[in-house]
Amino acid sequence: MEICHLYISPGHNFVGHHGREPDTHPMIEVPMIECAAGRGIRGDRYFDFKNDYKGQITFFSFEVFDELCGALQVRDCSPALVRRNVIARGVDLNELIGQDFEIQDVHFHGMEECRPCYWMNRAIAPGAEEFLKGRGGLRAKILSDGQLRSNTRVLEPIE
């Protein structure tokens, strides 16, 4: 598995916003995330979210993102729009459901598909929710402390 992008966000844009406008918390691309066993990713909105939470970290396939953009004819959009923590290449994430797995010496347990919701149609394009059914990514628990690093150079903003 190749890690293409890593993201954290300080807050929820869609969770708990049914019938209201989403919030505007950005997905921040980082070169490294710190995984804490049973807790989540330090600095992310789901860190210590709930006891034994099944989505302490989320994964999404870069290949599926490319297919989505092609199918919906979306150009110049970032994989940050899917609001998952790890964008990876070279793995079938659905095969990790119910499995323990390891990436860069950090251990995880795949819990379930990170199902797409109707907000995807607004965040990406109409039809995104339907296209992503069955391939919305993976929710996982973090089983060991450690760091994940992206293979992509993250540019720091110029101030």
Residue 16 scores a pLDDT above 60: no
* Residue 136: domain span: 2-8+30-149
How many of the other CB atoms lie within 10 Å of CB of 7?
Answer: 24
Is 18 part of a structural domain of the chain?
no
Is 21 part of a structural domain of the chain?
no
Q: Please give the C-alpha separations between residue 47 and each of 8, 93, 112, 147, in angstroms, as whole numbers.
A: 10, 22, 18, 15
Is 156 part of a structural domain of the chain?
no
Tens digit of each residue's pLDDT (9 = 90 or more) over 19-73: 656 566 778 999 999 999 999 999 999 999 999 999 999 999 999 999 999 999 9
The CA distance from 55 to 40, in Å, is: 8
Is 108 part of a structural domain of the chain?
yes
- For residue 117, name the pLDDT band (cuts at 50, 70, 90): confident
For the chain, give the number of residues: 159
- For residue 15, name the pLDDT band (cuts at 50, 70, 90): low
Is 25 part of a structural domain of the chain?
no
Is 50 part of a structural domain of the chain?
yes
Is 47 part of a structural domain of the chain?
yes
* CATH number, domain containing residue 72: 2.40.33.20
- For residue 88, name the pLDDT band (cuts at 50, 70, 90): very high
Question: What is the number of structural domains in the chain?
Answer: 1
Higher pLDDT, 111 or 157: 111
The CA distance from 100 to 122, in Å, is: 33
